Structure 1
Amino acid sequence: MKNKFLTITKNGTNEIIIKKSKFITNIARVETEEEAKEFLAAVCEEHKKATHNCFAYLIGQTDQIQRESDNGEPSGTAGVPILEALRKNEVHNTAVVVTRYFGGIKLGAGGLIRAYSNSASQAVETVGIVEKVLQTKINITVPYKLNDSLQYYLNENNFVISNISYGAAVTIETATTSENVTNFVAELNDQLAGKGEIVIGEEEYIEIPYHPKKEAK
Structure 2
Amino acid sequence: MTKEYRTVYEGGEGEVVEKKSRFIASVRPVSTEEEALAFIETIRKKHWNASHNCFAYVIGERSELARYSDDGEPGGTAGKPMLDVLKGEALCNTAVVVTRYFGGTLLGTGGLVRAYSQAVKEGLASSVIITKIRGVKLKIATDYTGLGKIQYILGQNGLKILESEYTDKVEIHVLVPGEELEAVCSEITEGTNGQASLEAGESCWFAQIGGQPAVLEG
The answer to whether the 8 A contact 1:133-1:208 is kept is no
How far off its partner does 1:77 sit? Answer: 1.3
Give me the identity figure in percent: 37
Provide the residue aligned with 1:90 in structure 2. 90
How far off its partner does 1:157 sit? Answer: 3.0
Range moving further from structure 2, 18-27 or 198-207: 198-207
Unpaired runs of 5+ residues, structure 2, are: 210-218
How far off its partner does 1:208 sit? Answer: 4.3
Provide the residue aligned with 1:24 in structure 2. 24
The answer to whether the 8 A contact 2:11-2:128 is kept is no
Q: Which amino acid in the other structure matches residue 63 of structure 1?
A: S
How far off its partner does 1:18 sit? Answer: 1.0
Q: Which amino acid in the other structure matches residue 50 of structure 2?
A: A
How far off its partner does 1:124 sit? Answer: 2.1
What CA deviation, in whole Å up to 9, does each residue of 1:75-105 have, x standing for no partner?
Answer: 2211111111111111111100001111111
Provide the residue aligned with 1:158 in structure 2. 158
Unpaired runs of 5+ residues, structure 1, are: 210-217
Provide the residue aligned with 1:175 in structure 2. 175
| 1:1-217 pair list within 5 angstroms | 1-144=1-144, 146-166=146-166, 169-208=169-208
Q: Which amino acid in the other structure matches residue 24 of structure 2?
A: I
Change (3 A) 1:149 1:24: same
Give distance in 2, aligned partners of 1:170 and 1:20. Answer: 62
Give distance in 1, aligned partners of 2:76 and 2:194. Answer: 63
How far off its partner does 1:128 sit? Answer: 5.0
Q: Could you state the TM-score of these two structures normalised by the residue count of structure 1?
A: 0.86
What CA deviation, in whole Å up to 9, does each residue of 1:61-86 have, x standing for no partner?
Answer: 22221111111212221111111111
Range moving further from structure 2, 168-177 or 89-98: 168-177
How far off its partner does 1:171 sit? Answer: 2.4
How far off its partner does 1:167 sit? Answer: 5.1
Q: When you count strand as a share of all residues, which structure comes out higher? A: 2
Change (3 A) 1:170 1:38: farther
The answer to whether the 8 A contact 1:4-1:133 is kept is yes
What CA deviation, in whole Å up to 9, does each residue of 1:168-190 have, x standing for no partner?
Answer: 54322213332332222122122
Provide the residue aligned with 2:216 in structure 1. none
The answer to whether the 8 A contact 2:31-2:93 is kept is yes
- How big is the alpha-carbon RMSD for the aligned residues of Structure 1 and Structure 2? 2.1
Q: Could you state the TM-score of these two structures normalised by the residue count of structure 2?
A: 0.85
Change (3 A) 1:157 1:76: closer
What CA deviation, in whole Å up to 9, does each residue of 1:26-51 have, x standing for no partner?
Answer: 11111111111121122122211211
Give distance in 1, aligned partners of 2:31 and 2:184. Answer: 31
Change (3 A) 1:12 1:166: farther
Q: Which amino acid in the other structure matches residue 11 of structure 1?
A: G
1:100 match: secondary structure: strand
